[in-house]
Structure formats: C-alpha cells, structure tokens
Chain A
Amino acid sequence: MTALPSVAPAAVAAVGADMFATAVADQAVAVERVDWTPPMDGTADDLATVAADPLRRDANALAVSRMLDVQAMLVGVAPASELLGLEKGQFLHAGPPIEWARASGPLRGALMGAAAFEGLVEDPEDAEALFASGSEVSLEPCHHRSAVGPMAGVVSPSMWMFVLEDPATGRRTYCSLNEGLGKVLRYGAYGPEVLERLRWMRDVLGPLLGEAVSAAGPVDATAILGQMLQMGDEAHNRNRAGTLMLLRDIAPSLVRSSRSSEEVAEAFAFMGGNDHFFLNVAMPACKLALDAARDVPGSTMVVAMARNGTDFGIQVSGTGDQWFTGPAQLADGLFLGDYGPEDANPDIGDSAITETAGIGGFAMAAAPAIVRFVGGTVPDALATSRRMREITIGENDRWPIPVLDFAGAATGIDVTSVCRTGILPQINTGMAGRVAGVGQVGAGLVTPPASIFPAALAALAERTRERAGS
C-alpha cells in the first residue's frame, strides 16, 4: 500500500486463490496474477528458512552488482604451464571433480589425446593404462584453477590459453584456444589430425596471438559480448559476430607480427573459418564476472554450472566451493550425418558458464538464426529468454536483447527461484560422441538435473540455521 492507508493501492500483485484477486479487480484496482505452482518436492521448509535469512536480499544484490561491475579484458595469450603452473602429467578437465574410472568416453578420449600431445605416450591408446594407474598423472577441474574448458575441457601444460583480466581487481581467468568443429580434442577425438592441429596451435597460432594481443592492447571482451547480442549471436552456440569483432581488433597487430605472412594467413583462415573461435573468450569473460559474485554469505546465486560428461555440477555464491552434482542429461537436439541419440554422450563442458552469466540459452531471443534448437520458432525463443527471467535475480543492462525491446539478459540464477518454479536453466550445447575418439555428433538443448537445486537449497538452509543459532 502507499504510505497513507486512506489512499487506495495503485496496483496489486496476487498469488494463490483467484477469488481474492478477482475481488480486488472488481473494485477497479489493477491486479497482476501470479501463475503459482507448488515448489519442488520437499523444498518448502528450506525455502522458508532461506527466504527469511536476513542476509539473503542484500547478499544477492551484492553478488549481482559485483558481477555486473566486472570488465573482462583480453590481456594475453600464453601456455598453461606459465599461466597456471601446470606441470607435465597434470591435466585439467571440465565440470566437477571426477576420477578416470567414472570418466565418460569423450573425456577419456580428450585426456588420451592430450597425453600424446604432451609426449607422455607415443600412441594415444597407450594412455588408457597410464590414467587407469593414476601414477604420474593427476586430474583437476578447470574451475579450480580459475579456468573454463569447453566440452571435455582438457587442458595440458603446453596448450596456449586466453587470459582475461578485470582491471579494477587484477583477477584473471583462462581458457584454451578453440580448435574448430568436428574431430577435435574437446569432443573426445584424438586422431593424428587432431594432434597435428594442436601442435600447430602450440607452435604457430598461440605465439602469434600472444604477440598480437600484447601489441594490440587489451581487447574489451565484455563490450564485444554486448555487441554480439545485437548481431545475432547468443555467445554459446553462435559466436560468428564475436569472432569477427575479435579479428577486427587484432588484425593490424597480426599483420605486423614477426611471423611470416604465410603463417598469418593460415591463422586468419583458421579463425575466420571457425565460427566458434570467440566462444573461448566469451567463456572466461563470463567466469571472470561470475567469480566476482562468489563467497557472499547468504547469497543464493549460482556462480557456476559445469559438466564433466558424467556429472552435472553447480556452485552457489553462499556455499563456497562446494559442488552440488547429479547425473548429466542427454541433450535434445539435432545430429550430424548418420549419428543419432544412441551415439551421444551425456552433457559435457564448462561452456554452461555462458548460461550462468545470462547469455547462451538465456539469450536465445538474440540469436534467431539458431532458434530451431528451442522447439523451432522465434516466438519460442522469445518465450525461453523471458522464462529465464523467472529464475534470475537481475538483468544485465550491458547485454540488451533487441527483440525483447532491449531488455537486459536475465542474469544471476537464483537457486530458490528454480526450486519454487521448477523452471530449469536452459542450456545450448554441443553433443560429443559417447565413444572416445568419435568427436562431435550434434548439438541441441539440455537442462541440469533438477535434483541439484534442492540439494544446493538444503545446504543454504543449513548455513542459514547455523547463523541463526550462533
């Protein structure tokens, strides 16, 4: 009500029994009715506990504002050994922690290829025994080293990586260079052509990009992301405009580099022919922003969604580094060539960091060219982007979506909103072959397993109760 109780309310939001809403509407007051459904099973008590947490509202506002304050600048390209201190035998992978015994086909394939690339084995097939033994090798999530990895997300010491930095704080995030589509390491392929390309990326592309980015100066990835959304990309399954904008920014420095014009031309052809090249800049840019929202006590905001091909995991601002995991789902989508659903591995990759930040599947409305992944029609895509606002804390004004009247992308997934509405985050994804070595088999849509949100909520409620008790 307005501050004076003798003045009628201008508009009323009504949730629950429709007769009360109707009675108000009958008295000529505007009423917005809520389409309420019971929360996910068994969450009512935890929802009430967390909703009444005196920290929650301000914690979420702080988490979102910290995230939105981040400017992600591409400041360098260098080997993982230098940037992350990765040593021979140490491998990073996508998703929550996992051991070799439970690793999926594409993750195994990518690890085997990476082992051969690092010279630990001659033939990738020989790496199976090496990883099975567990001696002299170690696996660790990319996320634990401020990095993100697309699909299998395998990073080894000799791979070159993009470095994104927030100038205000100096914090950094990292991601490997995009290898293109088809038979590539991140989809679990490890044939000779895969290793050949990785070597070229190590020996030519990486150093060339490192030189060019240093010379060109920091490239504003956050700003490019905003422009991409105006140009038909959603920055997960479509990065065409972003790739070209990155090229535009560094092209003069590439041309002026110390490398031969032949090598520069090869690099141009590779990046220009690979519409996903910018994805590997978009991902760490999103992680850089989301990391700023981490560790705010009481915040229910999701700061990472990631999959390792076996488990889907989320991390939440108010619960620190704890992973909440459930079985990764099979994507619903379209297949390359003869491949079908039986060939696909469950969902894999850290790329859902884009959805966590509010783009990708959340910004489907910005990318009409790929809307067929969301049930086929442009109105469906608009509905998807709108529906995601039901589970997010805020909107990102730097990422406006033209067709939604330039409303900002839905940003900051709220665990409580997911549990209340049952609406799961929409993720656009590629599909890797189930069998190690196959590579990409399709692309489509997937959601997290529903169970991980009530699990995260329970942990938030537990912390709330502990705070209240202390």
Chain B
Amino acid sequence: MTHQHVEIRPGAYADSVALLQVSRDVAATPGVAAAQVAMATELNVEVLQGMGFTLPATSTNDMVVALRLDDESALPAALAAVDSALAAARKDSSGGEVTAPPRTTASALRRAGGDLALVSVPGASALVEAMDALDAGVDVMIFSDNVPVEQELAMKQIARERGLLVMGPDCGTAVVGGVGLGFANTVAPGRVGIVAASGTGCQQVLALLDAAGVGVAAALGVGGRDLSAAIGGISTRTALDRLDADPSVEHVVVVSKPPAAEVAASVEKYAADLGTPVRFALLGAGQPDLTTQTEALLGDLGVAVPEWPVWGTPAVPDGGSALRGLFVGGTLCDEAMLLAAAELGGIRSNIPLSPDLELDASLVSDGHVMIDFGDDGLTRGRAHPMIDPTLRLEHLAKVAADPATAVILMDVVLGHGAQDDPAAELAPAIAAARAVREVPVVVACVGTSTDPQGLARQAEALAAAGAEVHLSNAAATRRAISLVNGAAR
C-alpha cells in the first residue's frame, strides 16, 4: 500500500531550479509515485499540501523531502536517489569552455578582426556574406559562381560608395601582398600591379612575368563580368585607384576577357588620369593576345623579352582535320578561339564567340571545337576542373579516338587552389590517347617556378607522355593551328 514519507532538513539549501531537477530525477526512481524536494517557501508548502502531503511546521530555510511510495520498502532506494540527485546538482561540470565557431562572416569579423573576407558559399548566398564584409569596412573576394548579375551590381555599387573593393565573383584569382587568394600563382614581389577581370588570364600574365624575372606587387581580380555593360567596370576603377596609390606599383596592366567596348573605353579614359601608367590587355577579335601584351609591358618596364619556354619533342601531324581544345581556363579558351578563328574559321564551343557556334549538351561536333570545362554550366553541382579533372579526362579519350581530330590543345593551370599534381592524372591519359593513335597534343602549362606543383616538374611529366608543352597559351595555340594546317596538307 502507498506510503508517505516527509522529512525536514534544516540548514540544507539548493536553489529552486536545482530542486525541480532533483524532484524530477527522484520521481523517476522505481517505486516512487510522486516526489517533491523543495525549500519550504510559502508557495512550495502550498504545492506540497496540494499534492496531499501533511507537513510539520517549517521555516523557509528548511528543505523538505516529500515522497509518496508504492510501498514502504521502496524508501531506502528513494532516499538514495534524493542524495545522489542532490549530489549531482552540486557537481562541478565546468569541463572546459564551450566556444562554437562563428556562424556568419559578420560574426567572424567581429571576433577575429581581419581586413579581408573570402566568400565561396553557393552563389545564391554570396551577396549576404559579402555585405557583412562591406558593412565591417573590409574588402571581399568572392569565389562563388552563379551569383546573379544584379546582385553583383548592387554590392559593387555599395562597395564603391564606401571605398571598398569587391573582387569577383567569377574570377577566383588574386595576389595581395604576396598572398595568393583562390587560384593564384606564387610570384616574387615587384613593381607590376595587375587588375584582372579574368582569372586564368591573370595567371597567364603572372606566369610570363615570372619567367621574365619580373615581380608583382599585387594582382586584383575584379570578376569576369566587371567590364560588361551591366557592371560597367566598378571594381576595375577601385582596383586601379588602389594600385595607383601604392608607391611600390610602377606599372599596371588590366587583363580581361572580351569586354563591352563602351565600358573598356570609359575605363581606359579613367586610367589615363592616374599617375601610374596603365596598359590594357583586353581580349577581342583583332586585339593582341595576352602574351603579346605581356611582351609590350616588358618593353614598358625596359626588360628584354625572353624566349618563352617550351618542353618536349615537337609534335607532328598524323591525319585528321579538326582542332579540339579542352580547357579549364575560360580566358585561355577565349584567347585560343580568337587566334584559331582568325586562321581556321568558326570554332564551336560552349562559350562561343558568336551564338550560332554554340555546342549542344553533348559537347561533340564534327569541326573545330573548344570546350571550357570551367564554365558555370559545367560546374553546377561539381568542383572546378582545376580541382576535379574527371570530365575533361573523359573528353580527352573521346576526342583522341575520333579520327577527325588533327590536334588536341589543352591547358594546365598551376598554383594555389589547383590540383596538387595535375600531371599525375593528365600525363597517363595523354600517353594512353597517343598509344591508340599518335595524335599531336599541345599543352599550355601556366605556372611559375615557385608554384607548389613545380612548373618544370609538371611540364616535363607532360612532355614525357608525348605532349608538346608551352608556357604561353598563345604560342601553344599558334603551334596547334600550324599542326592542323600541316595535317590538312
């Protein structure tokens, strides 16, 4: 039969919340129908009476232990439960700090300070994180792709008003004070400043300058759309201002994919008013390629143009009539198409020079084809081909097996952010392709002597697999064009 146990513990104290917890623990003990351990305040005495307990006289400083048991035999276990719950309520649980990482860019900047934010969240959320940086008064670099152009415009307008720089989106290359951000090469400090609306275009210029022994003060990526009509060169202007104000910068070069003509003109006019001379390396039909422009820059600097390095045995034609380009760098692909189209006519592509040359989703066509595997359309849901080469390697095997293929033109881009050892996968794939048929493979290997992957080591491995390797993408492309012409003869 039920048994009621009430005891008063004068001088014992625990706070009311601890005691609610103790009561709950004790009530869960087998054989206990109800339990209330509480300080004998007026309220608690009322509650206890409401529960049907009969209490002796108490003062508010007494602890009351009130138990209703299924059977008297449950008492020792119940009292033991009271004692252990009270002991547990006193236990030292200060086992170390609980410090969670910041959840937003704003929070990270509040906690740790910092003068730059790097944003690589999915494109739909990039603006929100970038605005945290602009609100905190720091510059931001956005690696995210698929950022809506109207959002890019909005944040760049705000940044411009506040004197801040938005680098990117859709150009994941920068070097700030010798620190490479995103996809960037290791370069010596020096007197050239670069503004780049093109990631791999910037890397090409860095690689050539390094080969010529010229250092770089900074390379500021401004986003592949910055010189488009929609954005109007907002970040380009800010980047020019910054480089102009930096006393270590003697010459500036602006690198871009084909820009909007009116934007290019207006930015060129803006640059003409700066104290630092600015050279424009803007790709486009009839415009000089990046290598030619870099050579002109070397002329500005009074530095002799070196012989651009080439590795491997010269490739020889082996039939076929079509040029097949497989690129990871969008600008390198653009540059190659501009050079090849002038010689060979229309090049079909997923990033075509004119809309009528657009490839369908199969990425296959009879004639000349150049594919940019780094384009947004091919990176949705997968990593950039500079990180994950799978898709390009599949296509390499496919075009090598195609008897129409006269020459395969490829790029390999080194530096921070890229694969640790791209030749480790690409060289065997080239060797395998050439084992079927000795199709010429020409590679532009864009990197510097101090890049983590080692330019010479990568180039030599590719050459050993049978490729002809150039540091200059323009030189590689010209060589590929000559091989196509040779094969056709």
Chain A interface residues (CB < 8 Å from chain B): 1-17, 19-21, 23-24, 26-27, 29-30, 32-39, 44-45, 47-48, 51-52, 54, 57, 180-183, 273, 334-338, 369-373, 376-380, 382-383, 386-387, 389-390, 416-417, 420-421, 423, 442-443
* Extra inter-chain contacts (6) besides given A6-B249, A9-B115, A443-B20, CB under 8 Å: A7-B176, A19-B387, A20-B120, A35-B100, A369-B17, A370-B15
Once bound together, how far apart are the Cα atoms of A389 and B100, in whole Å?
Answer: 11
Name the segment of B124-132, B222-230, B261-269, B320-328 touching the other chain: B124-132
A33–B101 CB distance below 8 A: yes
Chain A, Cβ-Cβ closest to B242: A5
- Could you list 29 examples of A-B contacts with CB < 8 Å? A3-B242, A4-B246, A5-B217, A5-B243, A8-B177, A8-B178, A10-B115, A12-B115, A13-B114, A13-B116, A15-B119, A21-B118, A23-B416, A27-B178, A32-B112, A34-B107, A36-B103, A39-B125, A44-B124, A47-B128, A48-B124, A54-B158, A182-B42, A182-B43, A334-B21, A334-B24, A379-B93, A382-B97, A442-B20
Q: Among the listed A5, A14, A27, A51, which residue makes an inter-chain contact with B117, where contact means beta carbons less than 8 Å apart? A: A14
Once bound together, how far apart are the Cα atoms of A318 and B312, in whole Å?
Answer: 66
Chain A, Cβ-Cβ closest to B120: A16
B151–A15 CB distance below 8 A: no
* Interface residues of chain B: helix, strand, loop or mixed (majority): mixed
A24–B128 CB distance below 8 A: no
Chain A, Cβ-Cβ closest to B153: A52
Contacts of B98 in A (CB 8 A): 379-380, 382-383, 386
Q: A23-B416, A24-B179, A335-B20 are in contact. Are A15 and B115 (CB under 8 A)?
A: no
Chain A, Cβ-Cβ closest to B129: A15
Closest 7 CB pairs of A and B: A8-B177, A16-B120, A5-B218, A334-B20, A32-B112, A383-B98, A11-B114
Once bound together, how far apart are the Cα atoms of A51 and B112, in whole Å?
Answer: 22
Name the segment of B47-55, B364-372, B428-436, B476-484 touching the other chain: B47-55
Once bound together, how far apart are the Cα atoms of A7 and B165, in whole Å?
Answer: 15
A5, A32, A379 interface centre (most CB from chain B within 10 Å): A5
Which B residues between 223 and 275 are near A, CB-CB below 8 angstroms? 239, 242-243, 245-246, 248-249
Chain B interface residues (CB < 8 Å from chain A): 15, 17-18, 20-21, 23-24, 34, 36, 41-43, 46-48, 50-51, 89, 93-122, 124-125, 127-129, 131, 133, 135, 138-139, 143-144, 148, 151, 154-155, 158, 165, 176-182, 189, 193, 217-218, 220, 239, 242-243, 245-246, 248-249, 387, 416-417
Q: Among the listed A27, A29, A44, A379, which residue makes an inter-chain contact with B95, where contact means beta carbons less than 8 Å apart? A: A379
Q: A14-B118, A51-B127 are in contact. Are A334 and B102 (CB under 8 A)?
A: no
Q: Among the listed B15, B96, B246, which residue makes an inter-chain contact with A6, where contact means beta carbons less than 8 Å apart? A: B246
Once bound together, how far apart are the Cα atoms of A17 and B143, in whole Å?
Answer: 9
Distance (whole angstroms) from the CB of B293 to the closest CB of chain A: 21
A1, A32, A369, A386 interface centre (most CB from chain B within 10 Å): A1
Once bound together, how far apart are the Cα atoms of A417 and B107, in whole Å?
Answer: 10
Q: Among the listed B18, B105, B124, which residue makes an inter-chain contact with A34, where contact means beta carbons less than 8 Å apart? A: B105
B43–A13 CB distance below 8 A: no
Chain A, Cβ-Cβ closest to B118: A14
B107–A390 CB distance below 8 A: yes
Once bound together, how far apart are the Cα atoms of A52 and B113, in whole Å?
Answer: 22
Distance (whole angstroms) from the CB of A57 to the closest CB of chain B: 5
Distance (whole angstroms) from the CB of A413 to the closest CB of chain B: 14
Q: A16-B120, A47-B128, A48-B151 are in contact. Are A9 and B20 (CB under 8 A)?
A: no
Once bound together, how far apart are the Cα atoms of A16 and B172, in whole Å?
Answer: 14
Q: Among the listed A33, A183, A337, which residue makes an inter-chain contact with B36, where contact means beta carbons less than 8 Å apart? A: A337
Distance (whole angstroms) from the CB of A340 to the closest CB of chain B: 10
Once bound together, how far apart are the Cα atoms of A8 and B184, in whole Å?
Answer: 14
Distance (whole angstroms) from the CB of B39 to the closest CB of chain A: 12
A16, A30, A376 interface centre (most CB from chain B within 10 Å): A16
Contacts of A13 in B (CB 8 A): 102, 105, 108-109, 112, 114, 116-118, 133, 138
Contacts of A5 in B (CB 8 A): 176-177, 193, 217-218, 220, 239, 242-243, 246, 249
Q: Among the listed B36, B121, B182, which residue makes an inter-chain contact with A15, where contact means beta carbons less than 8 Å apart? A: B121
